[in-house]
Amino acid sequence: MAQYDSPASLVTPGGTIVFNAAAAPTYLHDPGVCSGLDGAPARATVEDKPVTDGGIWHRFFKAAREVTLGGLLRVDSITDLETLEADLLAACESIFSDPAVTGTYEWTPTGSTLHSITVRCDVLPTYSGAAYNKQYTFGLVAIDPTITIA
């Protein structure tokens, strides 16, 4: 099971974003909003048998992972807020349009070693809420669902 409240980072050509840092300013993931790192969805192809009852199973594969990350922007000032918003947008935009450009999402679950997965951004960050209670959400996609454990 993924620990979305573990120390994490998104490393991109547009900058490195650190999540769940001990002190403000930081991005604090909300495990209730985050999803997609627990397990890759199955890509199961089944088709009907021609001219008879039943179906035909084909080999099942793991599908691409759709990862949603979201939480609270923890800040001490409006300047911190504006910086966090701009930095996250720059990082996500740098891995958004060019399929050859990827980033790495990394996290270290409690009592474990570094986990990582290669990603692109497929949903740019959105923000909601008041200045000192602002929430963020964005999406990543990993075409290779394999998580590397160091």
CATH code assigned at 79:
2.40.30.200
Quote the CA–CA distance of 19 and 29 in Å, as a whole number. 7
35 neighbors 56 (Cβ within 8 angstroms): no
Q: Which domain holds residue 99?
A: 8-149
Residue 2 within a domain:
no
Burial category of 90 from C-beta neighbours within 10 Å (exposed 0-12, middle 13-18, buried 19 and up): middle
Nearest-angstrom CA–CA distance, 140 and 27: 16
Distance from C-alpha of 27 to C-alpha of 9, rounded to nearest angstrom: 10
Count of residues making up the chain: 150
The pLDDT profile of the chain, 150 residues, written as one tens digit per residue, is 678 999 999 999 999 999 999 999 999 999 999 999 988 889 999 999 999 999 999 999 999 999 999 999 999 999 999 999 999 999 999 999 999 999 999 999 999 999 999 999 999 999 999 989 999 999 999 999 999 999
Supply the pLDDT for residue 131: 87
Q: What is the pLDDT of residue 1?
A: 60
